[in-house]
Chains A and B, each alone.
Chain A
Amino acid sequence: MFAYIIKRLLWLIPVMIGVSLILFGIMQLVPGNPAAIMLGTNVTPEAVQALNEKFGFNKPFHIRYFLMLKNFLTGELDSIYYNDQVLSIVERRLTATVELGLVSLIIAILIAIPTGVIAAVKKNSVFDLLSMFVATIGISVPAFFTGIIFIYLFSVYFQIFPSSGYGGPIWTLSGLQHLILPAFALSTVMIASTSRLTRSAMLDVMKEDYLVTARSKGVAEKMIILKHAFRNALIPIITNVGNQLAMMFGGAILIESVFAWPGVGRLAVKAVEYRDQPLVFGSILILSLLYVVVNLIVDLVYVLINPRISYK
């Protein structure tokens, strides 16, 4: 197991180099000169020239790539648009992104899994039909729309939560208050898909012979569902949750916009808009790293829940 983790961690290096190469290549293909965009209507040929020299846009491809990679690794990569270093810009927003992602995940798991299990156990009951109907709506309605509805309900109408912005770290009251609405809005899609998946995975497992055996041996129904059925249904659920979490880190851009949440997703979009190549490079590389790491964690969690899976 330990050797496996080391091996997987070592594999990260070529993966990340590949990502960085593809990323850098795409950035070169995107039309638009960063200096001209940044200067906007104040553009003059001299000003463009000065900026091009300042950020080395005139050097050949491979030199720029190695320069960017080196500067990134040593933490000296400067953003063009923001007057700061890429790492420190991303770091500040990463906290907001990770907080939002993890809290949504927790909300989603707390709601989706019990709902899915109950729906499967009480198949075709009112609860099942109703919850799966709501889940279908949850998958279909875009998260930003849910977000706007939430803001209208909870901050304009009931005035319970602030409508938008980042209130501080999660352990502060203001931070928590600001986090709740976006976290719930972001978790809706995940709740919907996870609860449906949990239900169908549970239904599959519940047809298995060993459950019949367990029942005939007189094991309590609660025990059968939680220990025998649920544990075996967990593999596809964990896979789904892992994917969704990884997507949340980078893909919460709409929610970040609606709630004016200072996350990495919005930052990356802004960076692309301004052709801020160093920042695009840095922010996407860090998002990819998060994605890969989440996947690694998911693979390791498999072992914990299913002893038949082992990595050698």
Chain B
Amino acid sequence: MKKAVLLTVVVVALLWTEGCRKRPSDSESRDLQKPKVIGVSLLNLQHEFYQDLREGMRKGAKKYGYELKILSADFNPAIQANHIRDFIVQKVDAVIICPCDSKTVGTSIEQANNAGIPVFTSDIRNDSPQGKVIAHVASDNYQGGVLAAELMNEALNGKGNVALITSPGVESCTERIRGFKDKIKDYPEIKIVEELSAEGQRDKALDVARDILTKHPELDGIFGINDDSALGALAAVEAAGKAGRIKIVGYDATQEARRRIRDGKIYADVVQYPKLMGEKTLDIVHRYFAFKAIPREEIEHFLEGEQLNIPVRGGTWRGNSE
């Protein structure tokens, strides 16, 4: 009983201070010219890619003086739906979503639409017919897959057996695989012998790659749909004593992967620019706030982007308006 009373007091006190800090009455907030608040729900914050995306968004928000509320949905569409509901209750000025599930996210987007909150998506697209998205800012993952296939062709001199480490269920990753497979058709002597999921996680990729290496001793190349997959594959290849003989192509070009590329352990990566992507998303949100619209077509390419002294190739990247 005592405990319950104490707990209630603490909770009420917390809510009270929280309320005092964050919720002045509506008129007051307008008077003070409160900075615009943007709610962001990211797929996760465990992968370096999304950490960089967050960094870019923060940079962009700082530029325009916006306040960001960045949440991680930990791959869970249900958590993400709750994020959007919370944002609606908090009356944020805009919502940026990096969907956990391209299909079901539409319902949440529609709810935000009904509350009059503009919605933007980043990195992963809304694939459902429901919900209206102002703009989608993302790498062109299909084109990235095509680039990866070109890199693989280059690595293998146009001939060999290739395995793919995939992550089905994530739209951006399936796009990469689609691009890769479409392009690989142009190289008749390269054969895809295996395609297995490691859910984009490094320790699972290690086990999957071990299986692939055992099953296909004649393997020449592995394409990992993200760097965790590629680095897991590298660990398996090294443990099998086949380092250098099996060419690995990764995706994202994280710091760790770049170092491995410099060492010659990974052949090359398709590079993404998550920081730039995050910043660009905020640019577009800003333009929307300023003009209540954004220019019809806004496509930018960053081919052959960052030139380190390693064969990190440029991925394409675009922010298009819908």
The answer to whether A and B come from one shared complex is: no
By a beta-carbon cutoff of 8 Å, the part of chain B in contact with chain A is: none
Interface residues of A (CB under 8 A from B): none
